[in-house]
Structure 1
Amino acid sequence: MNEKEIKAVLKNGGNVIKTRDDRKLIVIDQDGKILNTEDCSWCLDDENSVVNNNVFRSRIEPWLTSLFQSEHLSILCGSGITNAISFLARGNTGTTMDETTFSSYQDEIKFASQESAKASGREKGNIEDQIRVANDLLRGLKILQENDKATKLEQDLNSIISNFANSILNSENGIAASEEDKRENAYRVLVNFLLSFASRTGNKERLNIFTTNYDRLIEVGAELAGIHLMDRFVGTMMPIFRSSRLNLDIHYNPPGIRGEPRYLEGVARLTKLHGSVDWVQNGGEIRRIGLPFGANSIAPYLQAPGLYGADVLQLMIYPNSAKDRETAEYPYVELFRDFAASICRPNSTLVTYGYGFADEHINRVIYDMLTIPSTHLVIISYDDPIGRILKFYSESAHKAQMSILMGRNLGDITNLTNDYLPKSAIDRATIRMAELLQHRMGATSSLDKQATATQVPIIADVPTSEE
């Protein structure tokens, strides 16, 4: 099936899956019928049978459990995770990236942002493109000493960025202030989602969490889950962004044991690739301010001693997603270096959730990762609204290193946490149970053969020394 046909199936509530030994995308309509049976090696024998959650689970959960045990595990979250949790909490999605209106140079800014979007492979520009173009124009006006025009454009930018920041906070507030039952359910799903990835034993490398979102949903979920997040910020009152990335970690000393510290479980590293609504440029430094989750406005929290009269123009929420200008500047160069260093190494697995592959500077790093044969990419998404996911897959020469889970069923965060992701616990008990069952089955099988030869009845369950 071609991309257009697959997009139509997704739009109508169907699903697309590629896991394990699948060589092509398996397309399944909203009724559970496989549409390209010739490409499916695990098609059901009965033509009237439908693919349900049990079939999906048998294909997905063991596969993801295996991949999550990779030496290096990373997850990249896009706006889809915020939209999913917002929908669970209040019935609608979070912040949109739609274009805004400037009172001056509107046509010029709109044209330039459209050209920027086309250069990135997107059909239309968004507010990020407009803010970046307006910033470039503002610098140009100041160089030309067009002070009156520069002042007016700067006022426009200040107002637009303030509204955009407040819309991010409104999205957070919509979750935090929703009905208690819905809010608790949304938080529970978020916690289980994060724990499925972060529940790695202490002898494995830490989970790396990357996000393109400006909100603090992942931080709130980690706090509720008891996950310790480590990032580049150092300090307590007003943490400062540090370029030096030492291999800091969290250890503990087991009772009665001296000199043998062990890694604390439930620790992850967080990198916000596009900045955050609570990051402020303060002189030559980047500070994280104490902005509550879902605050009504950001302005009061900028009026603090030591911020040197910072306003919303100093918020670090507007990287350039079309060219590399912003990512070559502080602090984005350090953030993208962390991203490349974390995923572009052998035995690495990257999982994307809710990321639409609209940022070329991120896609290039993922392309480079796939050139390493032992790496694997898992793409999980509710849909493909701009067609960039299917385009990324079709243009890749490394399809064998990619798993795809897309659709109304497979991309739903509730279904993921309930049925498809590994259980959110360190799996020693399950591993131990499997070993016991294997020993028992082996012992029973051996006694079965002996009983057959001697015609002596045997006991079905024979205890072993492992019990």
Structure 2
Amino acid sequence: MKQDNIIATQGLTNLFAGQPDMDSTDKKVEFIKTKLREFFNLKNVNFLFGAGTSNGAIDTMSELYKHLKFSEDEKNEEKEFKSIVAKEGENLENILKVMYSARNYYNGIHDDDKKAEDDITHYKELYDRLIKKIEGHIFDSINVDFATKECPKILGYYTTFYQKLAMRNKDLSRIRVFTTNNDLFNETALDSLNIHYINGFSGGLRRFFNPALFNYTWSKRMDTSIDKYEPIENLVYLYKIHGSINWRESTPLPGNFFEIEEFPSSDLTSDKACLIYPTPTKQDKSLGAPYVDLFREFQNKLLEPHSVLFVIGYGFNDRHVNDIIYRALATNSTINIVIFSSKPKDEDREKKPIFFVDDNRIFTFSGKVWDVDDEENKVEGSKHTINHFDYIVNELLPNLDAFKKEDNLVRFVNQLNNLTKDKK
């Protein structure tokens, strides 16, 4: 027998209240699935992925702090790091904020006294080394080997997500995925399924960023005798609003204004990566290119009529992202926001007001599901959190019929590859 503590709300109203036959877990889950299917009939379907979608394969901020180690040659760096921790606590985001501020301070002052100037230079170099070390530590945690540890399982969730949703009805807009993550799980999953995606980069030998590409689509010719085309079905728009580990600032080609270049995953280094590191001051960095273009796309897409934004794995800790969502709710009467997350505590009311607003366009789903032995009334196996990425993609999201044909193609290719490998 299944039991649960599932919570489903519309505004501040319990969605299960007043519904007949909501006395079992299966009926509650089916009710949520039906509600989600309704949203997929809207013209514009958007997703916002946060760190939670890659959780398990990539360390959280608290885990990154625990795993940060200093060598014998880094005693000065370790001493300064610990002095910041004593004031800010074991929060890597706040620690980085202090370091960025300190570096900016020392870069902006000058003293004619030689001893004072030497001290300034010392701290400039010290904070440069510290920041480089921590940014490299974060980069290494993101640049994962997809064949090790939990990565294959997490990649499987992404693959299932795109298998289910990428092939929408061609009369509706293609799905758009906005993500604050810098990893390559989305791209790897899409490539494995042979699904085309537009991420703002174009070119052959060298791929540079151009936001105009988000206004393009891929089409196929319907008749060889006439110029008649229709959009292809297997296409996704991917917006990495905090950058990516495979983006770098490069010298642009002639005729190309943008300096952001996409590199192969085999050629990645932390010193040249173009991404926004997690700090409370990241809103300031997001005002530069290419982030300003990506955030503008996010804002414009949420202002389109008859839109829905599914929020998965995002904790509403980014002020810039939050402001865009709030602005959309304030100006677009036809948007719906579907949040897979438990309600924060009352003390977070000011930080995350979206959970405390009584607005019928805001939906939240959270809770756990577990099996119980009928005779002994003991929990069997582990509890499943319905607002976690794995449960969402495996149990809640609809499987669009249009993809069944493509799934057969993928199965054929996999079997063919396995057979040809055996002969080699």
State if a TM-score over 0.5 links the two structures: yes
Could you tell me the percent identity over the aligned residues? Answer: 21
2:148 to 163, 177, 192: 177
> 2: CA distance between counterparts of 1:198 and 1:346?
21
> 2: CA distance between counterparts of 1:128 and 1:238?
33
The answer for the alignment partner of 1:15 in structure 2 is 6
2:36 to 46, 64, 77: 64
Distance 1:246 1:196, change over 3 A: closer
CA RMSD of aligned residues (A): 3.4
The answer for the alignment partner of 2:95 in structure 1 is 130
Q: Is residue 367 of structure 2 the alignment partner of residue 392 of structure 1?
A: no
Tell me whether 99-108 or 269-278 shows the greater mean CA deviation: 99-108
Deviations 1:346-370 (A, max 9, x none): 2110001111111121111111212
Structure showing greater Rg:
1
**1:111 Cα deviation after fit:** 8.0
> 2: CA distance between counterparts of 1:162 and 1:428?
42
- The aligned runs of 1:32-71 (5 Å cut-off) are 40-42=17-19, 44=21, 49=23, 51-52=24-25, 54-71=26-43
SS class of match (1:150): helix
> 2: CA distance between counterparts of 1:417 and 1:319?
26
Between the two proteins, the alignment pairs up a number of residues equal to: 359
> 2: CA distance between counterparts of 1:56 and 1:224?
34
The answer for the alignment partner of 2:13 in structure 1 is 24
> Contact conserved, 1:280 with 1:314, CA < 8 A, in 2?
yes
The answer for the alignment partner of 2:418 in structure 1 is none
SS class of match (1:137): helix
User: What's the TM-score once normalised by structure 1's chain length?
Assistant: 0.67
- The aligned runs of 1:254-269 (5 Å cut-off) are 254-256=222-224, 258-269=226-237
1:347 to 306, 312, 329: 306
Q: What amino acid is aligned across from residue 201 of structure 1 in structure 2?
A: N
2:50 to 66, 70, 78: 78
Structure number with the bigger relative contact order (C-alpha 8 A, sep ≥ 6) is 2
Distance 1:217 1:406, change over 3 A: same
2:263 to 271, 289, 295: 289
Distance 1:154 1:332, change over 3 A: same
The answer for the alignment partner of 2:294 in structure 1 is 335
The answer for the alignment partner of 1:407 in structure 2 is 367
> Contact conserved, 2:196 with 2:236, CA < 8 A, in 1?
yes
1:373 to 327, 330, 333: 333
**1:379 Cα deviation after fit:** 0.8
> 2: CA distance between counterparts of 1:370 and 1:277?
31
> Contact conserved, 2:54 with 2:154, CA < 8 A, in 1?
no
> Contact conserved, 1:202 with 1:265, CA < 8 A, in 2?
yes
> Contact conserved, 2:245 with 2:273, CA < 8 A, in 1?
no
SS class of match (1:44): coil
**1:243 Cα deviation after fit:** 4.6
Deviations 1:269-298 (A, max 9, x none): 111111112222236822222124xxxxxx
Q: Is residue 141 of structure 2 the alignment partner of residue 164 of structure 1?
A: no
Unaligned runs of 5+ in 1: 1-11, 27-38, 87-92, 115-123, 293-299, 303-310, 430-467
Distance 1:197 1:126, change over 3 A: farther
Q: What amino acid is aligned across from residue 354 of structure 1 in structure 2?
A: G
> Contact conserved, 1:157 with 1:313, CA < 8 A, in 2?
no
Distance 1:219 1:385, change over 3 A: farther
Unaligned runs of 5+ in 2: 69-76, 111-119, 252-257, 370-385, 406-424
Distance 1:394 1:75, change over 3 A: closer
> 1: CA distance between counterparts of 2:107 and 2:12?
56
**1:392 Cα deviation after fit:** 3.2
User: What's the TM-score once normalised by structure 2's chain length?
Assistant: 0.74
Q: Is residue 59 of structure 2 the alignment partner of residue 95 of structure 1?
A: yes
Distance 1:215 1:126, change over 3 A: farther
